[in-house]
Amino acid sequence: KRFLQMLLPKSGGKQEGSPDTGASRAFSKKTLTWRLVGDAYSSQLSGDEQRYIFRLAFRMWSEVTPLDFREDLTAPGTMVDIKLGFGRGRHLGCPRVFDGSGQEFAHAWHLGEIHFDDDEHFTPLSSDTGISLLKVAVHEIGHVLGLPHTYRVGSIMQPNYIPQEPAFELDWSDRKAIQRLYGSCEGSFDIVFDWIRKERNQYGEVRVRFNTYFFRNSWYWLYENRNNRTRYGDPLQILTGWRGIPMQRIDAFVHVWSWGKDERYFFKGNQYWRYDSENDQAHTEDEQGRSYPKLISEGFPGIPSPLDTAFYERRQQLIYFFKESLVYAFDVNRNQVLPSYPKKMSQVFPAIMPQNHPFRNLDSAYYSYTHNAIFFFKGNSFWKVVSDKDKQQNSRLPLNGLFPKQSISEKWFDVCDVHTSTLNM
């Protein structure tokens, strides 16, 4: 069945790969299964350790591609997409014979087979001797996915084994190489926000730093703006990183930050939570002893629920709440909606290019300290809001206008899902 599948034409709409580079996409489906073959475990590491390492190796590719990988221990062998095994000399019915300790340590085959030479000294994650099984596995999985060897320094696809440095990860070029075959990661987000941290340096001076977070379903990523990628090892579960707030599908985040105020709120359904940044968890009650979560209608009178999204405008000290096609401007000092609101989103934030507008049901509104701009997210696209600087450069731009939409994945890179079974790694 796998052989026949291989002969079928691939699904259209995506680049198949370049014959000049030798790269070609091997799979046309999104979730691939794998298995360490039962009679082909290594004699050097425990079975659990081997499977953990392979699970991590697959996850590393999943973190940078729209593919995800699931270990399958039950399906018939012919239905498993990628099979891995260890052997020595003549092994596993393979036509290529391993050469013993040294030189060739593994190889990968069309139809998703990866063989490791068990005469090599494969070592687990914690060891700095021998040959890292993780690194070899990531390399061979790269072949199975369709990448050839390259001699580019820093690439995981170099043919020779290079003892790994402390941080072994897929670099920018490897990511782009695999994304040329399988595309970039797309998808809508529940909330996107910058989280402000106040720290003291060695002189006791308060420094303000920020981190960018993307939330989707029950997981989240920290985005490293200076590196144009997510943090290595993300996504993580909201449950483990953000204590006390809803575990999934959060509607909105707002940081009310002005003189005398530093309040962070998460919204879901008809409720909201206030987050205690000092203790890194949600407040359980307010200063008056009233417990969280609270009703949005009580804390923010005049604001409907559930919400699509919200953001805080610091200069005007207004929270803009969005629901369907309407926007509500909420004065945090008077604790009420401005008299002329709600208004149509398209009226408050007009399109610069006609009809190029989200119109309704935003996913997230995000003020970015990196770009000093507000972005509206919907689906795979974002619209940038005209800033003061934009207006200085072009006075004809409408106040709070929306620039034409662009693709999220072309501005924030590699925000990729992984299989839910690997979220806890």
The answer to the question of residue 106 lying near another protein (CB under 8 A) is: yes
CB of 35 to another protein, least distance (A): 19
The answer to the question of residue 2 lying near another protein (CB under 8 A) is: no
Smallest CA-to-CA distance from 178 within 405, 343, 396, 413 is with 413
Catalytic residue among 71, 104, 140, 199: 140
Residue 16: active-site member: no
Neighbours of 205 (CB within 10 A): 8
What are the start-end ranges of the E strands in 301-349? 309-313, 318-323, 326-331, 336-337, 343-344
CB of 20 to another protein, least distance (A): 9
Q: Which residues contact 292 (CB under 8 A, 6 or more apart)?
A: 244, 272, 273, 274, 282, 283, 284, 285, 286
State in Å, rounded, how far the first CA of the chain is from the last one: 32
Retrieve residue 237's tokens: 């579960």
Nearer to another protein, 99 or 331 (CB): 99
The answer to the question of residue 82 lying near another protein (CB under 8 A) is: no
Nearer to another protein, 89 or 398 (CB): 89
The answer to the question of residue 417 lying near another protein (CB under 8 A) is: no
Under rule CB under 8 A, which residues in 143-202 are in contact with another protein? 143-144, 148-149, 151, 159-161
Of the residues 5, 31, 46, 101, which one makes contact with another protein according to CB under 8 A: 101
CB 327 within 8 A of CB 341: yes
The answer to the question of residue 76 lying near another protein (CB under 8 A) is: no
CB 118 within 8 A of CB 107: no
Strand 236-237 versus strand 219-224 pairing type: antiparallel
Q: How crowded is the C-beta side of 227, counted as CA atoms within 13 Å?
A: 15
Query: Site mask, another protein, residues 4-33, x = CB under 8 A?
Result: ---x-----------x--x-x---------
Nearer to another protein, 105 or 253 (CB): 105
Q: How far apart, in whole angstroms, are the C-alpha atoms of residue 397 and residue 349?
A: 11
Phi, psi values for residue 79, rounded to 5°: -95, -5
The answer to the question of residue 123 lying near another protein (CB under 8 A) is: yes
The answer to the question of residue 119 lying near another protein (CB under 8 A) is: yes
Stretch that binds another protein, among 60-68, 115-123, 218-226, 291-299 (CB under 8 A): 115-123
Write out the residues near another protein by the rule CB under 8 A: 7, 19, 22, 24, 44, 88, 95-96, 98-110, 119-121, 123, 127, 129-131, 136, 139-140, 143-144, 148-149, 151, 159-161
Residues taking part in catalysis: 140
